[in-house]
Amino acid sequence: MVQSTSINTLVTSRSSVVCVSNDEWRRNLGQTRETRVVFGARRKCFCPFGGRSAYFTGLPFNRSKSLRAQAGWLFKGNDKGSELDASCEHSESVNEDILMFFFELDLATRVQYALNVEQYEIAQQLRNKLTEVESEVIKLQEIRRGSASKSEAQDMAIRILRLRADLQNAIESENYNLAAELRDKISKLEAKSLAASVKAQAYENSHYAYRLGQKLKHKIFGYQAVICGMDPVCCESKSWMDGANVEKLTRGPDQPFYQVLVNVQEDPNLLVAYVPEENLVVPDKQDTKDKFDHPYASFLFYGMDSAGDFIPIKQLRDKYNQPRHELPYNQDEDGKDA
């Protein structure tokens, strides 16, 4: 029974759920690294990031009662000079993207709970908050993942046409200094427009070698990883790409990059990484009994399939527009199920 009518806290007999207030949410939209998300339940996992802390507990995503992993975020940097280690592929933006996704899931769950207990006013307020969050997340995704690149390229094309008209007028009036400046502006805009068009086209024609939930191995650092997100090209900042030596990759930044969960038993300090496709490989032998521990796994996946890979939740598949993976139906020579 709901004991509190406040939108910020819903108290049940089993747990309490805390919702970030509107003012805090707006402030955090401008500085995502300070976002705090709390899911109410018995099981708790502490994960510090960006100077702040996020606590996750099982309910309402209580899919694995046995999960009690605890992981810290310790980005040590590169202490080996020019020699890279696994931390070079650590990405705070990836971790924040996952936390945003958790926040959306949590709000949607609380909306449904409020409806179930007939707290319609609270449900409406929560739904309004969820709509606000979803619209902001969509904007961030469009900027990060190239949907905005298409419109950006179109806007630059229009600006180039106008500059060309101004250039023609400057030449006809023999104002050659102005014509030279306009020509330089056109050249820079054409380069930016081409880059934006290539990025937008990459998203429209994206093809991935791996899928959500697939269990892979890092080709260089050897740790076990599970895919929880994907981009057709590298969407990190230039400083991150410089630190990860992306330009030295065989396929460079214009290849799929994957958000992966790192097995905390193998590397407890990395937690989440942003890995190029060429650095991931399918293990030679997949043992379904191999234990993969990660504090985010029970929130993003239903569990494991018979092949040992993870089954992504529907919301995660919808986020990346990925189909449900069906295992092949095998029969033995006598026509019986294998």
Count Cα neighbours of 64 within 13 Å in the Cβ-side half-sphere.
19
**How far apart (Å, rounded) are the C-alpha atoms in residues 131 and 228?**
24
CB atoms within 10 A of CB 294: 26
**How far apart (Å, rounded) are the C-alpha atoms in residues 178 and 166?**
9
Give the model's pLDDT for residue 312: 96
Give the model's pLDDT for residue 315: 93
Burial 324-338 (b: 16+ CB within 10 A, else e): eeeeeeeeeeeeeee
Give the model's pLDDT for residue 288: 58
Give the model's pLDDT for residue 89: 94
Those residues of the chain that have pLDDT short of 50 are 1-82, 148, 331-333, 335, 338
> Long-range contacts for 147-151 (Cβ within 8 Å, ≥24 apart)?
147/200, 147/203, 149/196, 149/197, 149/199, 149/200, 149/203, 150/196, 150/197, 150/200
pLDDT tens-digit map of 63-104: 444 444 444 443 333 343 346 789 999 999 899 899 999 999
Give the model's pLDDT for residue 134: 87
Give the model's pLDDT for residue 325: 87
Give the model's pLDDT for residue 139: 77
- Strand 272-276 with 9-11, pairing: unpaired
CB 217 within 8 A of CB 283: yes
Q: Give one DSSP letter per residue of 252-263, joined into a string.
A: TTSS-EEEEEEP
